[in-house]
Chains A and B, each alone.
Chain A
Amino acid sequence: MAGIRLAGLTKAFGASRAVDGVSLDIPDGEFVVLVGPSGCGKTTTLNMIAGLEAPTAGDVYIGGERVTDQEPRDRQLGMVFQSLALFPHMSVFDNIAFPLRIRKTPPAEVRARVEAVAETVRVALLLGKRPATLSGGEAQRVALARTIVMRPRAFLMDEPLSSLDARLRVEMRTELKRLHAALRATFVYVTHDQAEAMTMADRIVVMQCGVIQQVGPPLAVYADPVNHFVAGFFGVPPMNFVDGALAADAGRLAFRAAGVTIVLDRPAEAVTARDAVLGVRPEHVRLRDGTGGWPATVGLLEPLGDETIVFLDYGGPTSIVAKVDPDEKIAVGDHRRFMFDRGKLLFFDGTTGERILR
């Protein structure tokens, strides 16, 4: 078991930089999730850790040792691929035994270790089968078994759940978390799915355009995003954004946008007047009867059972989305007033997208 450290890791393909100066310290035993939209450089980062791609600049350290120039086979890492990469011409047993046989493990030990691992990930009955005959979940567990059996220094996973259907994906999420708890190994997990990142990570690393945007525990990243991109990436439905401007209003700071004006408990000097974007999560939008807040018309309802998503047309360019109690008496076309939870408002610079007024 070992921690992983990335120092200024950069990968350029011609003129474009897929990964640009990524530095990250992953302590031994941590479950880190690299998350971001496709093409953000997360898989390239993982491949550089594995040694499958050579960095243009920067270094990779595993267990304190510099491995930048080592071949993948010398790094002793376990990797699960998006396609799972089970060898179609080998039985499940031979697939799991593959890394052991390469290291010339004695046959008796190979058998014992393969059977032990197969037992833990519940594929013991499949050992004689071919990968093509396995279900998605079974193939998934075989791929895990093949990685666990070699007792790697750390686990790398590249969107391993993306080929599964939604229900199985949720199950495997739990199973992976249990596995991590049992193995106490370092996990570096790549996904574009914010729900996977939120549910599994000890720490989330949000990437965009090859650059790390934010690193932190899931709830911290969710509640306290550093910029417009990170704020919008997490949460279903996503955060509401209202384009407007911050300006002084009788000595205090005020946010003004079409249909919405909010006077803040901040002195006007807190920031200079500028274009700004207000961000507020759907669960922080409240519906009200009577007075206060701003008027809106209910444009659309999405009942989910445990909550109902309400689209409010308030006169701005897009709707405001609110999460409300499923018992709330509400119908499309209703005229309601809405307001925001004061302490939960986020403001972003209209040009740079950086968070302001933290």
Chain B
Amino acid sequence: MKRRWLVAFVRHAALLAWTAVTLIPVYWMLNTSFKHSGEWVTWPPHWVPEQPTLENYAQVLTPGSTIFDLGRQTLKVLKPLWDSLFTATASALVAVALGSALAYSWARFGTGGKNYPYSVLTIRMLPPIVIAVPFLVYYVSLHLLDTYTGLILVYIATSLPYVIWMMLAFIEDVPRELESAARVMGASRFRVLSSVVLPLTVSGLVATFLFVFILNWSELLLALTLTNTQVSTIPITLNKFQSVNEGRDYGPQAAIGAIATLPVVALGFLIQKHLVKGFSFGLLRK
């Protein structure tokens, strides 16, 4: 009896410690985002802000663009927030639509040959920087540099392998006999898709969308290479703090971090039901 209690205690202690390790950076970001500049760096550290403030949020959320004045940088986040939201959503939507269609036609008709999904996967085996520079060269001549279209296109290309592989798992979970039954009962191929396959893979579609959205939402390298002043995503904005030359703007940086995390967390909660079903893949579904 005593032994079992001890085992439970050790196990919980270990889990708590691990939770702390993973959550403390997130907490520290939130904590700092509500602090005045005087509290950003103190010893001993302030675990809660002594004088909580919203000034960091107010500063980064005021309309206007990032300015660099008298050696002091003021970062604005509304435009990057929109840029990130737009590019990540658009690219995830198109990639999921295109990728699931590809996955379906490969799973059911063998379109593209036996090795198609594997050859698509090789795109992911290259370090992104390898494709970033050639893309830059193409984009200059195609006038796609520093445009939404350009960034969205490259995100679609890099997300497709993920979408195809995730959706393959979900599509192969739909028994073929269901599709055959619908066809014998008079359904066209399109009707089979809309009435049978789509409703049965909706959790997979949602999970895949979210996965790809987060991927593109937090992508830095390609955005940094292929955009300049017209388009500027959240990761690029955060990255700009590296060049602040007068002190460190920890407060606004933490505020932007919090703002960047928020949509993803909110989205996750909104579609929790689908995520549980989706990320368990075939495990819970039979």
- Give the interface of A toward B (CB within 8 A): 47, 50-52, 71-73, 75-79, 81-83, 85, 87-89, 98-99, 102-103, 146, 150, 156
Q: A82-B177, A83-B177, A102-B191 are in contact. Are A89 and B183 (CB under 8 A)?
A: no
Secondary structure call for the B interface: helix
Residues of chain A within 8 A (CB-CB) of B195 are: 87, 98
Considering the complex, which residues of chain B in the window 175-207 have a beta carbon less than 8 Å from any beta carbon of chain A?
175, 177-178, 180-188, 191, 195-196, 199-200
Interface centre among B178, B185, B199 (most CB of A within 10 A): B185
Complex CA gap A156/B185 in Å reads: 12
A98 touches B200 (CB 8 A): no
B177 touches A146 (CB 8 A): no
- Give the interface of B toward A (CB within 8 A): 175, 177-178, 180-188, 191, 195-196, 199-200
B177 touches A99 (CB 8 A): no
A98 touches B182 (CB 8 A): yes
Instruction: For A50, give its contact among B178, B184, B199 (CB under 8 Å).
Output: B184
Complex CA gap A82/B229 in Å reads: 61
Instruction: Tell me the minimal C-beta distance from B190 to chain A in angstroms.
Output: 11
Residues of chain B within 8 A (CB-CB) of A85 are: 175, 177-178, 180-181
Residues of chain A within 8 A (CB-CB) of B183 are: 51-52, 71-73
Complex CA gap A83/B185 in Å reads: 16
Chain A minimum-CB-distance residue to B199: A89
Instruction: For B178, give its contact among A71, A87, A102 (CB under 8 Å).
Output: A87
Complex CA gap A51/B175 in Å reads: 18
Chain B minimum-CB-distance residue to A102: B186
Residues of chain B within 8 A (CB-CB) of A102 are: 185-187, 191
B196 touches A99 (CB 8 A): no
Interface centre among B178, B182, B184, B186 (most CB of A within 10 A): B184
Q: A87-B196, A88-B200, A102-B191 are in contact. Are A73 and B180 (CB under 8 A)?
A: no
Residues of chain A within 8 A (CB-CB) of B188 are: 73
Complex CA gap A102/B195 in Å reads: 10
Complex CA gap A82/B178 in Å reads: 11
